Amino acid sequence: MKTSFRILKEARKYWLYLIIAFISLVISTIAGFYTPWALRELTSLATDGSSNFAVEALRIGLFLLAATALQAAGSSASGYLNHYAALHYVADLRTKLYRKLQHMSLRYFHKSRTGDLTGRVVNDAMDAEILLAHVIPDFVVNILTFIGVGALLFTINWQLALMSLITIPILLGITIWQSHHVTPVWKENSRVRGELSGTVQDNLSGIKEIQIFNQQKHEEEKVSGLSLKHSMAYLKASFFFETTYPLLAFITALGTVIVVVYGGHLLGKGEIAIADIVGIVMYLSMFYGPVKSFSGLVERAGEAGAGCRRVFEVIDEVPDVKEKKNPAVLPRVKGDIQLKDLSFSYSEEIPVLQKTNLNIRAGQTVALVGTTGVGKSTIANLINRFYDPQAGAVVIDGVDIRDVTLSSLRDNISMVLQDTFLFNGTVYENIVYGWKEATREDVLAAAKAANAHDFIEKMEEGYDTVIGERGVRLSGGQKQRLSIARAILRNSPILILDEATSALDTKTEQEIQAALDEISKERTTLVIAHRLSTIRHADLIVVLEGTGIAELGTHDELIACGGIYCRLHEAQAS
């Protein structure tokens, strides 16, 4: 109920459709009450031997036709409007969920599975449609029917109406018991479904590695196990429905038997007419229907509610990195960067940086070197504010980056990663991704600067060639060059190169390095590199070791010192 109320509240922009749907539903439900009443009247006319039977029967038939038409029209209008509101709300909910995911920190994605998050956006969000367009309207119909038919039963004969209530407490008890047990089962079912979705997503993304290491059988068994686990969770939930529904059907039939027997007793005593018994028996099926169908509603609500709660879990998640209440907009910066007493760790047990200080002047090319895990990429991520430090600050042009909007901060930074990501689109679309306002001439110039123009022109459709998911139709070097072209086109005052030339051959690396050196003259450039040959001409080389900075200086200065950098250089040269 809490989830349903939240959905109704959030769908307030569609309340007009829902209100009209509700009115239509009420009209349709009330119109449906007339059929048993018409049969009762017809029976009364037949047993009383009315002289105007044909005329009265025609009147009843016309009223029944009108009621049936009204019932159909109301049901149709209600169904369409409920679905209209529900499906539009689902579209809004998916957008809201996706927007929230886009503003979550990298830490959140590191602890979540892509397939599970995809399942929440695509599948679980759709469960809101079940609640809004099916469960809630059906619940309203059941309440209206139960109250309306109950009132009609008492109108016809209060004694038989009381007899019909005998089995209601038993029916409600069974339904409440089922509700108590089925809700956690559906919650577990949704969790397992998300785990299955995540595993399939991981395996499809890593199919190359699975085939290389001949792990097809192992992964097949893993997916099979999760699939069976999901099926068993679903089966367990279905068990409650399949066992309680026949019991509910038996008890409702028993209630009808009680009313028929007692009605026969009253008929024998002349205390009730045959027409009234016919009407009551007809109404009983409508009266017990809501209670009996409530079991199915509980199951559907449990399943849909579990999915919706998985959506709201993400929406309600508090991001690790979030903007201040009224952040400033960072204008185009000169590029001065300071790390002030910076401390950061991905987990409390393993510190990465502790009280680290570093001054980078605008226009400098600064290289970060060191063994794996010393915090080189972490510094780049902190400057982009993908994470926030536990202590200290990152300051750009004298402004703490936590005081400005994330979008204005990242507008000032271009980044080329070692693990290049390209979208399933054209070459042109991937290059222009960082600056949508760029002209075609700007794109061509960036591609030429990244030494990508020649291989692009040789492709079947040139810049309009579709490169496939993650750039699957390109080599590693080609993907890297497109990524560099994208960063060049963005023309931000701060450029971060995280192993930007790692996928290139020596000749191409030298050509692109020359282009990068050229564009680096006009901006602050932070280079993360394992190949020390690519950073010989950096204005400043920062050597990281342990949880901080061990050495600072130019290439020649650090070689002369004979320290960590010198040993790394000698190891690569040998």
pLDDT (tens digit per residue) in 137-155: 988 888 898 889 889 988 8
Tell me, what's the pLDDT at 334? 92
Tell me, what's the pLDDT at 421? 78
Tell me, what's the pLDDT at 503? 57
Give the whole-number percent of the chain exceeding pLDDT 90: 24
- Mean pLDDT computed over every residue of the chain: 85
pLDDT tens digits, one per residue of 404-414: 999 899 889 98
Tell me, what's the pLDDT at 74? 92
Residues 289 and 428 in one domain: no
Among 296, 41, 2, 68, smallest CA distance to 152 is for 41
Tell me, what's the pLDDT at 501? 67
Tell me, what's the pLDDT at 208? 64
Residues 28 and 68 in one domain: yes
Question: pLDDT class for 312, splitting at 50, 70, 90?
Answer: very high
Residues 307 and 397 in one domain: no
Residues 333-358: what's their mean pLDDT? Answer: 90
Residues 203 and 64 in one domain: yes
In terms of pLDDT, which residue wins out, 148 or 244?
148
In terms of pLDDT, which residue wins out, 51 or 542?
542
Task: Say if 330 falls within a structural domain.
Answer: no
Burial class (CB in 10 A: 0-12, 13-18, 19+), 571: exposed
Tell me, what's the pLDDT at 502? 63
Residues 362 and 289 in one domain: no
Task: Say if 245 falls within a structural domain.
Answer: yes
Residues 123-148: what's their mean pLDDT? Answer: 89
Distance of CA 265 to the CA centre of its chain: 61
Distance of CA 353 to the CA centre of its chain: 33
CATH assignment at residue 41 = 1.20.1560.10
The residue range of the domain holding 301 is: 2-315
Q: Is the pLDDT reported for residue 238 higher than 60? A: yes
Tell me, what's the pLDDT at 337? 94
Residues 358 and 223 in one domain: no
Q: Is the pLDDT reported for residue 438 higher than 80? A: yes
Q: Are 221 and 198 in contact (CB under 8 A)?
A: no
In terms of pLDDT, which residue wins out, 360 or 209?
360
Give dist(CA 381, CA 377) in Å, integer.
6
Q: Are 131 and 322 in contact (CB under 8 A)?
A: no
Rg (CA), the chain: 35
Question: pLDDT class for 518, splitting at 50, 70, 90?
Answer: low
In DSSP notation, 357-387 reads EEEE-TT-EEEEE-STTSSHHHHHHHHTTSS
Note the helical H segments in 33-52: 34-48
Residues 145 and 291 in one domain: yes
Give dist(CA 59, CA 63) in Å, integer.
6
Give dist(CA 18, CA 110) in Å, integer.
40
Task: Say if 320 falls within a structural domain.
Answer: no
Residues 297 and 424 in one domain: no
Q: How many domains does the chain have?
A: 2
